[in-house]
Amino acid sequence: MYHGGPGMSPAAAGGRGGTARKVAPWILACGFLLCSSVLFLGAEGAIGVNYGMIANNLPTPDKVIAMYKANKISYVRLFHPDTTVLTALGGTGIGVVLGTFNEDLEHLASDESFAASWVASYVKPFAGTVTFRYITAGNEVIPGDLGTHVLPAIRNIETALKAAGVTGVPVTTAVATSVLGVSYPPSQATFSEASAPVMAPLVAYLSSKKAPLLVNVYPYFAYAAEPETVQLGYALLAGSSATSKIKVSSVTDGGLVYTNMFDAILDAAHAAVEKAGAQGLELVVSETGWPSGGGGTGATVENAAAYNNNVIRHAASGAGTPRRPGKAVETYLFAMFNENQKPEGTEQHFGLFQPDMSAVYPVDFAAGSY
């Protein structure tokens, strides 16, 4: 998903790769088989929402944060630092995931004084009133030219945080499923040849720091790419809804049974991390969502409502995934608003709310509250 500012390239701004979404080949293989077969750190299962700002008609930050509070949304993810938003978050108790611009990664990695300045500007002044959960050095830059800067940037930000007296804020990054190679079933997943040289030392480092890896999980794009082979109910987590009338088949991977693609994608990431030697590394779903319009296959209000409400119920259940049963998954829905300056099509229709603050469809956030 493109999260950059107007006039910025997706690579520079921290985007999901622009208008086209790469679909991991194993996801399509998983979908094909379906045709032939019938929190981390004490916040487990809680639901957050990404606060994207690629629009010229959004409410002011104080109104937006008031919406988070009114809807009992526990966490917010910011793709880049914004002091007005951070000020509005002060004293709310809402957990904040604060991102850097992708275009700043090289500078953060190579210049400790720049990292110190970044922390001094966007973290230190707010540390007493804002509940920072994580800081993310870049979004979806692995594999790619910027990927090699992620770990050095993490180290420099950590050093700057320590020097500023800010403790207890893990520094990590967010990756897309494009870090995975061709790997189905989920248990056989590994990092791709292009991403492994960066991901292996990264996950080892995160594990040593007890920091999570953030992963963006989008069953929608797999379904939209191959709707004739990927079962809609499987992509929508229909099996987690007691009222769903959509038939859902299952996929068996060894002794594990998958009834939805969300779990399969997440467990593929778990398997890849474990094969890279980072046993027990926590994964946080930093983005997931479904478009309610824009002309894409399956992009309807009904499907978007079903998906996001099912994700909330699934996360709140504490069931975890087949590979990590009983380990609830901290999950961030994408996104708070429909954003009119994103690329035309489905990219403009991932919002839970319209810019006038009316709901696109009902979402039961209370199902994800503890």
Any idea which residues carry the catalytic annotation?
Answer: 140, 287
| Cβ contacts of 325 within 8 Å, gap of 6 or more | 319
Give 95's DSSP letter: E
Give the position of tokens 């939209």: 224
What is the distance between the alpha carbons of residues 216 and 172, in angstroms, rounded to a whole number? 13
What is the distance between the alpha carbons of residues 184 and 237, in angstroms, rounded to a whole number? 19
Nearest CA-CA partner of 261 in 242, 288, 237, 228: 237
Q: What residue type is 151 in one-letter code?
A: L
What's the alpha-carbon Rg for the chain, to the nearest Å?
19
Instruction: Say if residues 40 and 284 touch (Cβ distance below 8 Å).
Output: yes
- Look at the alpha carbons of 343, 346, 352, 355 in this order and tell me if their dihedral is positive or negative: positive
